[in-house]
Chains A and B, each alone.
Chain A
Amino acid sequence: MELYELSVADARQKLDKKEISSVELTKSVFERIDEAEPKLDAFITVCKESAFKDAELADKMIAEGKKAPLLGIPVSIKDLICTKGVKTTCASKILENFIPPYDATIVEALKKNGAVITGKVNMDEFAMGSSTENSAFKITKNPWDTKRIPGGSSGGSAVCVAADMSLVSFGSDTGGSIRQPASHCGVTGLKPSYGRVSRYGLVAFASSLDQIGPFTKTVEDAAMVMNTIGFFDPKDSTSFPSDTPDYTSFLEKGMKGVKVGIIKEYMDAKGIDPEISDSINKSVDVFKSLGAEIVEVSLPNTKYAVPAYYVIAPSEASSNLARYDGVRFGARVETPELIEMYKETRSKGFGAEVKRRIIIGTYALSAGYYDAYYGQAQKVRTLIADDFKKAFEKADILLSPVTPEPPFKLGEKIDDPLTMYLSDIFTISANLAGIPGISVPCGFTSNNLPIGLQLMAPSFEEGRLLKAGYNFQCETDFHKKRPVI
């Protein structure tokens, strides 16, 4: 077994027992990057030199007896989380040369706890997309089949972990951007509750929906990562001031008495791939065999989730992205007139999907249309959140597919944005309701493409997801399979 194949938990043990050093682990990871990256294109910026400095520092901290879950562990970061002195492009031409003068709170926490930052990874431009094809710089490939999409928007993060090019990667999830690529690449992806992980230094897409979370090889690793990033941050006014649990304390065996809710509208959804339905049904059996009680729940307003999202997210985006006008940061097209400068800068700097969403958002917020679109979408958001509240009166966690289909072919949906939007049909509701969700591998199609299982819990009950996911992974080995690259 190569060192780059280790989980965080296994690497942690070896590092703490001084069987390996962080420099050795980092070296192994970079050898893997050299081998796999030319085939997969997951990175925008590789930080080899600084990573070895991080690793040397980590080894020193370990020698001094410091303990931390990610101490000496190689991690990568989606290129929309600010890293001081390292380019943060959001996979957009408009930020191609943007070098943040400060670290995001989670990056600060990673550095303080001795993590090794391997680089910044690819994504859909400004996190708008479900395939990572909207990157202005490169097309990331799915390591299980390089003719297929890795999912998105955090495609680079999912590929990085699936192909062992980092032990952990940090992404963001606005409508499924962690869970969907995790599912498509056969890794574990956790979207924490809104307010659980600081968004300070996360470049904003849709501020009421965005949340940072980890991609890992196991649920156990996700719990260890949460112990480093899941805390209250006064710098983020939406960070929730709650007690921070020891997330690893939820990794207990036993599902007896736990009520697992199957969502009627998701299982009956049109267009769901039969191999996915089959894997989900088998996963239900796994929970049954562990002693969980299976109940059926209904989320009657599910059909309005995607439409509500595609009003709310573009509206917030149109406002957030107004700051890219060539004045304070980013590329500027020099013109003699100010308005012309704004227009030319933005038109040359943004890609097609970003422009589409800015126009839709601007329209939905404009005089005369606000009530019909944005106002109505916000009310529907209440209905969707209420559906979840009722469902959680009957069930402790909810279980569903992550995606209706396995990863599609590169280029297949790029000219049809609406069809692309529908690939987020099972993940979007959690963002609208602010609840946490996790994707864990639960099977493979006959073409050897990964299938993911989604679990959701009430806000700030990540513990229930970690417990259920951990129990599932103790009984199954889908998460242990790795693609041949």
Chain B
Amino acid sequence: MTISRDEVLYVAHLARLEIPPEEMEGLSSQIDDILSYVATLKEADTKNVDPTAQSISLVNRFREDIVGETLGSDKAVSNCQDNYDGMFVVPKVVKS
């Protein structure tokens, strides 16, 4: 067992996912299988090996600080289910 049900629930919470109780068992065992499988990575000898984050030799690329074309706030919020005057509306965050 690589991961317990409680850990699956905790990680799901971190990822803002709700797991219905009837899906829990199947999901936990699938995740456990996958994690056990990927654990074979531990066998690889990686002493003195640098990690690769991406496969090409690019480093941060900068451009001139010139204003280009922008979407504009109307278009930017056009896919938001609840918007007001060019702004995204969300449930109240700060409690009064």
Residues of A within 8 A of B (CB): 97-99, 101-102, 193-195, 208, 234, 237-238, 240, 301, 303-304, 307-308, 310-311, 318, 322, 325-332, 334-339, 341-344, 346-347, 350, 352, 355-356, 358-360, 362-363, 366, 372-373, 375-383, 385, 417-418, 421, 432-435, 459
Contact with A along B1-33 (1 / 0, CB 8 A): 001000110011011111100010001001101
Is A360 touching B54 in the complex (CB atoms < 8 A)?
Answer: no
Q: Which residue of B17, B49, B55, B82 is within 8 Å of A434 (Cβ)?
A: B55
Q: How far is the CA of A220 from the CA of B66 in the complex (A)?
A: 40
User: Which residues, 40 to 67 on B, are CB-close (under 8 Å) to A?
Assistant: 40-42, 44, 46, 49-56, 58, 60-61, 63
We find that the number of chain B residues with CB closer than 8 angstroms to chain A is 52
State how many angstroms separate the Cβ of B5 from the closest Cβ of chain A: 12
Once A328-B80, A372-B42 are accepted as A-B contacts, the answer to whether A378 and B37 lie under 8 Å apart by CB is: no
Is B90 touching A341 in the complex (CB atoms < 8 A)?
Answer: yes
Is B14 touching A381 in the complex (CB atoms < 8 A)?
Answer: no
Prevailing SS type, chain B contact patch: loop
Which chain A residue shows the least CB distance to B72?
Answer: A101
Q: A97-B79, A432-B52 are in contact. List 4 more A-B contacts (CB 8 A).
A: A193-B56, A328-B77, A356-B34, A382-B52
Is A377 touching B14 in the complex (CB atoms < 8 A)?
Answer: no
State how many angstroms separate the Cβ of B39 from the closest Cβ of chain A: 8
Tally of A-B residue pairs with Cβ under 8 A? 173
Is A339 touching B30 in the complex (CB atoms < 8 A)?
Answer: no
Which chain B residue shows the least CB distance to A314?
Answer: B34
Q: How far is the CA of A372 from the CA of B81 in the complex (A)?
A: 40
Is B11 touching A307 in the complex (CB atoms < 8 A)?
Answer: no
Once A303-B40, A347-B17, A382-B52 are accepted as A-B contacts, the answer to whether A234 and B63 lie under 8 Å apart by CB is: yes
Q: What are the 9 A-B residue pairs with the smallest beta carbon separation, nearest first?
A: A434-B55, A378-B51, A329-B79, A379-B46, A101-B75, A347-B18, A342-B16, A381-B52, A307-B38
Residues of B within 8 A of A (CB): 3, 7-8, 11-12, 14-19, 23, 27, 30-31, 33-35, 37-42, 44, 46, 49-56, 58, 60-61, 63, 71, 75-82, 88, 90-93
State how many angstroms separate the Cβ of A314 from the closest Cβ of chain B: 9
Q: How far is the CA of A331 from the CA of B80 in the complex (A)?
A: 8
Q: How far is the CA of A105 from the CA of B21 in the complex (A)?
A: 43
Is B91 touching A238 in the complex (CB atoms < 8 A)?
Answer: no
Is B51 touching A382 in the complex (CB atoms < 8 A)?
Answer: yes
Q: How far is the CA of A196 from the CA of B55 in the complex (A)?
A: 12
Is B78 touching A373 in the complex (CB atoms < 8 A)?
Answer: no
Q: Which of A359, A383, A421 has the most CB of B within 10 A?
A: A359
Is B31 touching A434 in the complex (CB atoms < 8 A)?
Answer: no
Q: Which of B16, B30, B35, B50 has the most CB of A within 10 A?
A: B16
Which chain A residue shows the least CB distance to B54?
Answer: A208
Is B38 touching A434 in the complex (CB atoms < 8 A)?
Answer: no
Is A360 touching B35 in the complex (CB atoms < 8 A)?
Answer: yes
State how many angstroms separate the Cβ of B65 from the closest Cβ of chain A: 14
State how many angstroms separate the Cβ of A350 from the closest Cβ of chain B: 7
Is A310 touching B71 in the complex (CB atoms < 8 A)?
Answer: no
Residues on A with beta carbons closer than 8 Å to the beta carbon of B37: 307, 310, 418
Is B7 touching A240 in the complex (CB atoms < 8 A)?
Answer: no
Which chain A residue shows the least CB distance to B30?
Answer: A417
Residues on B with beta carbons closer than 8 Å to the beta carbon of A310: 34, 37-38
Once A373-B41, A383-B46, A432-B55 are accepted as A-B contacts, the answer to whether A363 and B35 lie under 8 Å apart by CB is: yes
Q: How far is the CA of A359 from the CA of B92 in the complex (A)?
A: 27
Residues on B with beta carbons closer than 8 Å to the beta carbon of A328: 77, 79-80, 88
